[in-house]
Structure 1
Amino acid sequence: MYSTRVLIPLGLALASGSALAHPGHETASFFSGFSHPLGGPDHLLAMLAVGLYAARQAGRQRWALPAAFVLAMLAGAGLGALGLALPAVETGIAASVLVLGLLIAFAARLPMAAAVVLVAAFALFHGHAHHAEMGDGTLAAYAVGFALATALLHGAGYLIGRWLPATPWAQRTQRAAGALIAGAGAVFLGA
């Protein structure tokens, strides 16, 4: 019963990215910004992974990781808006999926400062990519859209992670989800 409630939403989330998030947008708007993280499996999995990883952390780290991601992602978009390039943006995004998946798969607990820095560094790449795909329009409405979608994806991952009971079966399920996410990250790195 629990496997159905976990595997069906996970399968739907993985299948929802059939249209990649990087074809470019005609006009930047709140809705195009909102759809960008939802439209590509690389962004979708990384953002769900942040929530899943945060759900199994202690205390303030549960909220600090998603907050750091959103803030750093906005900073990455700001860097793009200023014309400052980040090297290997797509590789950084793919690496975020791989590393975050591995952290979940191995139930790793990093010190708070290290986890926040790691998550924020990955978020810079995601934000820079969001800006690069913005198209014509203003950054403000577009950024509010992708920041809100990202926060919702973090929240979904967090709720799934907290919903799972602290049983051996649930821990194996979460580790398996982390391994699947890491496998997708490895595929993205190879593509």
Structure 2
Amino acid sequence: MAARLLRISIIGVALAIMPTAAFAHSGDGSAGFIHGMVHPMSGLDHILAMLLVGMLAFRQGGRALWLVPGSFMLVMALGGALGAAGIPVPSVELGIALSVVVLGLVVALGINAPVAAAMGLVGLFAIFHGHAHGGEMPVQATGLAYGAGFLIATALLHAGGILAGSLLGRLSRRYGAMASRTAGGLAAMAGVGLLTGVL
């Protein structure tokens, strides 16, 4: 299981990095791609939510390992298009902060929902994350390059969450679950800090 997960992670990272070659000499496209890559990594809220999606996917296992992050990325791309087009989505920052709280609690409480429910939950929050990314696209960036950047960064963060879930799970059945739940609880507390403006 661990070897298979490692192979999937390596293949995923390799596929995620490959498109950078297409933007290496494209002027504004290259700048847009870099801005897109950096944006999800620049906020604690985005980083925590993406890692939690990966951890949730790992804990669900099976098809959820790719369906949960995949559904997040698909809906996030839609939200990014809405944001770039200037189409409003209500309470974006609230939705992003709530995503950290809710996903943190799901991981902390060890909730095992059906895969479709997990996909729906992460998809709901993905619209807010995507809208924030799209709405903050630099004027000089091309939408395709910028979108590819933030999708790849998100995929890498999801892979990091899957890897974290795997490493925590290897501690032992007892301590691995405790460590994973503690991580989820700390993330949920950070989400409350984001909601209240403390963080």
- Bucket of the pairwise TM-score, normalised by the shorter protein: 0.7 to 0.9
Q: Which amino acid aligns with 1:106?
A: L
Per the normalisation by structure 1, the TM-score is: 0.83
| Aligned counterparts, 1:134-153, within 5 A | 134-136=137-139, 137-153=141-157
Q: Offset at 1:122? A: 0.3
Residue 82 of structure 1 and its aligned partner are, at CA, apart by 3.0
User: TM-score scaled to structure 2, two decimals?
Assistant: 0.80
How far is 1:71 from its partner? 0.9
Matches within 5 A, 1:77-96: 77-96=80-99
Amino acid at match of 1:172: M
Q: Which runs of 5+ in 1 are unaligned?
A: 1-26
Candidates 75, 98, 101, aligned match of 1:98: 101
Q: Over aligned residues, Cα RMSD in angstroms?
A: 1.3
CA contact (8 A) 1:94 1:188 kept: yes
Deviations 1:24-45 (A, max 9, x none): xxx9611111011111100000
1:160 Cα deviation from its structure 2 partner: 1.3
Q: Distance in 2 between matches of 1:140 and 1:134?
A: 11
1:33 counterpart residue number: 36
User: Relative to total residues, which structure has the larger helix share, 1 or 2?
Assistant: 2
Q: Which has the larger radius of gyration?
A: 2
Aligned partner letter, 2:155: A
Alpha-carbon distance in 2 for matches of 1:131, 1:82: 8
Q: Which runs of 5+ in 2 are unaligned?
A: 1-29
Q: Could you tell me how far 1:49 is from its partner in structure 2?
A: 0.5
- The sequence identity of aligned pairs, in percent, is 49
- Does the 8 Å contact 1:28/1:135 carry over to 2? no
